[in-house]
A and B are shown apart, each in its own frame.
Chain A
Amino acid sequence: MLITFLNHQWKAFWRSKNKGGSIAAQIFIGLILLYLLAVAVLVGLSLEILIEKSFPGKDVLVVFNGFILYYFAVEMIMRLQLQDLPTLSIIPYLHLKIPKQTIVNFLNVRALFSAFNILPLFIFIPFCVTAIADIYGSFTAIMYIVAIISLAIFNNYTALYVKRLSISNLKVVPIMLALIFTLGLLEYFKVFSIAAISNSVFSIISTHPLAALGFSLFALIMFLVNSKYLRMNLYTEELSRNDEKKTSTDYPILGRFGEIGNLAALELKLILRHKRTRSSIIMCVIFVFYGFLFYKKDFLKNDNFAAVLFAAVFMTGSLISIYGQFMFGWQAAHFDGLLVNKIDFRKFIKAKFLLFTIMSTFTTLIISLYGFISWKILAVQFAAYLYNIGIGTIIVLYFATRNYRAIDLTKAAAFNFQGVGASQWVLGLPYFLLPYVIFMPFYFAGLPYWGLIALGVLGAAALLTREFWVTFLLNQFNKRKYNIAEGFRE
């Protein structure tokens, strides 16, 4: 029976509707996955050297032992955010003559097929097989591997259990995350050290290898707790959604913009009420920290803005480019409704501009905090901001009129390539190259500030001639609206 279920899952995966899409996108995803695996293996194999290089003078084993629990603590946070509950897939089986226990077993086995469970094997096992086996012998190495597999399984079922609890009680995940972050902070302020605990635990294993079975015991307990919970609560509505009371909201500020504001409010609700859009926005918030990577002191001192500019354009425009690249696919499910209703599509496009402007202004205000590093950053970011709301928005919307792929809003965002097509891959090029095309001539002429001014002025110019661009985009849209609507209906 389990095999049949897994076989169905396999078919579901390969035959899913959007699978047939663009081959290029699939090859790309395949390459990324291969790359990630290769990196994991490489890290695993060269862990010894890596540790020696990064922590010179420290005992490799001590660092390795200290690293293990650390890894799984971080992994736990990631799992809580990203790992999906394999729940919906059981609906067609619930009413058939299949014992509940079999379905629970299936859910448990299905949960093991996650990248999170494979990654640690690639990272840790090579080291165990080489270094640990060399020092302590092969039996200890095997018990190390047992411990690591057990930890992965423990994490797997704990994360799922916490997530399942959180469906009936929304507060569980935040509490869990807060707990882990507190641990992280305590670690940071050296109140206690996960690394030290990890180290002492694993040095016990290296002297008494059988102690590793302790982890297996924890994993087993968690597995049983999870199974029991599933067995008791095998009702899809309890496993997959919460019946929180939904309320109507309106945004009085947007209401001031009339119909344009209403359309923008509609899209804002779309963003806030779907998991996939919410996680896209959260991703953008994370990109706010990009500045720490790119805003290097010596770049700024020498007015070498070429490197800084990318980060500035990317951060001020992250919401525009990341959310905008799938436009109008977000609205695919009700696109027919928008077309037949009395909506002026001139206003529809203006509403997108309004939304983008709000988003970009919002992020720009946040990252203005980088101004504490240097005022020059503010100048670069302001030029980038003008470019984004002036020119970037036009580029994004132009590509939107050529995007016929619907977005399935019910799926999560991370590693979700549903709805990705050619226009997303092409969009990035003009979007991020154009600022350089404008800036670089001035830069090479030794006038970096003039380059920034040119960028800002062109952005402002596009902003002032917006009516013209709206007409242009509207014409593009009207040319292809049947294709867009047809693509979305599939």
Chain B
Amino acid sequence: MLEISNLKKVYGNKTVVNIEELQINAGETIGLVGNNGAGKTTLFRMLLDLIRPNTGQILSKGENVAKHDKWKDYTASYLDEGFLIDYLTAEEYFTFIGGLHNFSPAHVMDYLTQYTEFFNDEILSKGKYIRDFSKGNQNKIGIAAALMQNPELLILDEPFANLDPTTQIRLKALIKNLKQEHKMTTLISSHDLNHVTDVCDRIVLLEKGLVIKDFLTDENTLKELEEYFSE
């Protein structure tokens, strides 16, 4: 699905991301972990062609993301509030995003009914602009808008942050579900080791831009990670 080679991003004299080779296969759920400054968000931004790498390239389905736009057809993402159009109501935002994929407004609203539980009655028909929602609810809107696009590749940056426990559990169930039903490939970064090991089948550990560990999850993964981070 994704092939990263010789990827390097340098700010000033600090190398933020330096990945020689990383392959991500279709249908994998990958957890990206690492302390602040490890380069998780920068990597995501390069995956989404928001930042130009200094060297190297990222191929999505064999096409360089910086040269082609085709990846946008099957990639959905939510990194931060910068992805939301905050002066729209939640409904307007969903309709707009849906419209980009040629969903009719009725289709979008119909589709959203399956998220009733996830939204917990706090998102739809609230008569508020997105900017007036709490951070956790903004997160929900962004994640739901990404899921709605029915992507083959989903990229979420710290999706569990700011969410209440109930929603965290529901989100995990949603991701696991989509993986089974649509063979969706997912990239998640998180500081919450419990959630990551629970939902992901492969963990990539970044430190100062380098891939330190890359392994499949088993029952010892959580312990291993906790040991690494407590050093």
**Cross-chain contact A341 with B72 (CB below 8 angstroms):** yes
Q: How many A-B residue pairs have CB under 8 A?
A: 76
A199 at the interface (CB under 8 A from B): no
**Cross-chain contact B82 with A489 (CB below 8 angstroms):** yes
Q: Mark B95-106, 1 if CB is under 8 A from A, else 0.
A: 111011100000
B158 at the interface (CB under 8 A from A): no
How far apart sit A245 and B127, CA to CA, in the bound complex (Å)? 5
Contacts A342-B72, A482-B52 given; does A337 touch B82 at CB 8 Å: yes
User: Inside 8 A of A335's CB, which chain B residues have their CB?
Assistant: 82
**Cross-chain contact B88 with A340 (CB below 8 angstroms):** no
B128 at the interface (CB under 8 A from A): yes
**Minimum CB distance partner of A271 in chain B:** B87
**Cross-chain contact B50 with A336 (CB below 8 angstroms):** yes
Which one of B50, B52, B127 lies within 8 Å of A339 (CB-CB)? B50
User: Inside 8 A of A247's CB, which chain B residues have their CB?
Assistant: 89, 127
User: Inside 8 A of B86's CB, which chain A residues have their CB?
Assistant: 333-334
User: Inside 8 A of B79's CB, which chain A residues have their CB?
Assistant: 336
A259 at the interface (CB under 8 A from B): yes
Which of A55-63, A131-139, A262-270 forms contacts with chain B?
A262-270
Contacts A335-B82, A337-B84 given; does A482 touch B51 at CB 8 Å: yes
Which one of A269, A270, A334, A482 lies within 8 Å of B84 (CB-CB)? A334
A343 at the interface (CB under 8 A from B): yes
**Minimum CB distance partner of B74 in chain A:** A342
Taking residues whose C-beta sits less than 8 angstroms from the other chain, chain B's interface range is 20 to 34
B92 at the interface (CB under 8 A from A): yes
User: Inside 8 A of B48's CB, which chain A residues have their CB?
Assistant: 339-340
User: Inside 8 A of A334's CB, which chain B residues have their CB?
Assistant: 82-86
Which one of B51, B73, B81 lies within 8 Å of A342 (CB-CB)? B73
User: Inside 8 A of B95's CB, which chain A residues have their CB?
Assistant: 248, 250
**Cross-chain contact A485 with B50 (CB below 8 angstroms):** yes
How far apart sit A333 and B77, CA to CA, in the bound complex (Å)? 16
**Cross-chain contact B83 with A259 (CB below 8 angstroms):** no
Query: How many Å from the CB of B100 to the closest CB on chain A?
Result: 5
**Minimum CB distance partner of A272 in chain B:** B87
A273 at the interface (CB under 8 A from B): yes
User: Inside 8 A of B99's CB, which chain A residues have their CB?
Assistant: 259, 262
Within 8 A of B (CB), among A443-490: 482, 485-486, 489
Q: Mark A207-250, 1 if CB is under 8 A from B, else 0.
A: 00000000000000000000000000000000000000111111
Within 8 A of B (CB), among A315-337: 333-337
B91 at the interface (CB under 8 A from A): yes
**Cross-chain contact B83 with A336 (CB below 8 angstroms):** yes
User: Inside 8 A of B85's CB, which chain A residues have their CB?
Assistant: 266, 334, 337
How far apart sit A486 and B95, CA to CA, in the bound complex (Å)? 27
A8 at the interface (CB under 8 A from B): no
**Cross-chain contact B83 with A486 (CB below 8 angstroms):** no
Query: How many Å from the CB of A323 to the closest CB on chain B?
Result: 16
How far apart sit A344 and B101, CA to CA, in the bound complex (Å)? 11
A274 at the interface (CB under 8 A from B): yes
**Minimum CB distance partner of A274 in chain B:** B87
**Cross-chain contact A262 with B96 (CB below 8 angstroms):** yes
User: Inside 8 A of B77's CB, which chain A residues have their CB?
Assistant: 340
**Cross-chain contact B82 with A246 (CB below 8 angstroms):** no
Within 8 A of B (CB), among A396-446: 409
Contacts A247-B127, A248-B91, A270-B87 given; does A343 touch B82 at CB 8 Å: no
**Minimum CB distance partner of B52 in chain A:** A482
**Cross-chain contact A266 with B50 (CB below 8 angstroms):** no
Extra pairs beyond A343-B72, A344-B69 (15, CB < 8 Å): A246-B89, A247-B89, A248-B95, A262-B99, A273-B129, A274-B87, A334-B84, A336-B50, A336-B79, A336-B82, A340-B49, A340-B77, A341-B97, A341-B100, A482-B50
A-binding residues in B (CB < 8 A): 48-52, 69, 72-73, 75, 77, 79-89, 91-92, 95-97, 99-101, 127-129, 132, 149
